[in-house]
Amino acid sequence: MYHLGKIVGTICLATFSGYVFSNTIQDIPAVDSVSVEKPDNWKFGIGAAVFNIPEYEGAEDSEAIGLPYINVNYKSNLTFNFFNGLDYNLVNTRSFTAGIGLGIDFGREEDNSDHLEGLGDIDLTIEPKFYSAYRVGKLTSKLTLSTDAGGDGHDGTTLDLDISYLMALSQSSFFIPSLSVTYGDDDFMQSYFGVTAEQSTNSAVNLSQYEAGVSVKSTSVNLVYVKNLTESWSLIGIAQFKSLMGDAKDSPIVQENNQSLIGGIVSYNF
């Protein structure tokens, strides 16, 4: 699968009782004029998500998929999001947040595309992660280090840098543009973009052997629009425009360097 977990985990926002949250708490500051704190400190969001995404990272063809959407927040410190996993803030001030969590990498199946046939699957894996975010006004910069500690998936480590800006269009709607850069180590890059001698032999399309090393994997421009339809219902629109870089760009697995994603989420918040 396309790296939906990292993408939506980075740029997707949900609205709970007037607060605007990203998957990691307070990546986007709360809007005080519409903030309402619930006495029990719990906030939930459930709904449905629809995306049009590449068949895999580097594919030339796209597919439409539907997924459930779940987001749970407790006391602005603990968050679970269907796409991004579990986050816990160890430090959480107005200008700085740092924490640990368990992310999700959804892997890749060779039957996602004829171009991948013979390469084998990359299994879904849980990724321990460390993150920190610094805010100046409405501008937020965030670093996330994630690694496949279980060794069942890509076996590697990634570092993500995201810079986002919150624009309040009204008391009920927001626009959040952001820039993202993802760096992958040797193991991660080889898993997703390398071709071993055995894979080259088994490849249905005769992919040449290729060794992918540590490099910047991709850069992207992300656009998120959040609309609070009522106190309970919210609509989130997402678009991403990504360019593969470095050893990812040169991989024979990659058919198209420039990738795009578009989709939306309808969420009921309580």
What is the set of domains in the chain, with CATH numbers? 4-269 (2.40.160.40)
The pLDDT of residue 149: 84
- Is pLDDT of 109 > 80? yes
- pLDDT for 33-65, tens place per residue? 333 344 568 999 999 999 999 999 999 999 999
Average pLDDT over the chain reads: 86
pLDDT level of residue 82 (50, 70, 90 thresholds)? confident
**CB burial of residue 36 (10 Å; 0-12, 13-18, 19+):** exposed
Residue 39: other Cβ atoms inside 10 A: 5
Separation between Cα atoms, residue 110 and residue 112, nearest integer Å = 5
**What is the chain's length?**
270
Smallest Cα–Cα separation from 57: which of 116, 141, 97, 12?
116
The pLDDT of residue 5: 52
261 vs 27, 138, 215, CA distance in Å?
21, 25, 23
- Predicted TM-score (pTM) of this structure: 0.85
pLDDT level of residue 243 (50, 70, 90 thresholds)? very high
- pLDDT for 7-43, tens place per residue? 454 444 433 333 333 332 223 333 333 333 445 689 9
Determine which of 33-42, 52-61, 144-153, 201-210 has the lowest per-residue pLDDT on average: 33-42
Q: Answer yes or no: are the C-beta atoms of 128 and 149 closer than 8 Å.
A: yes
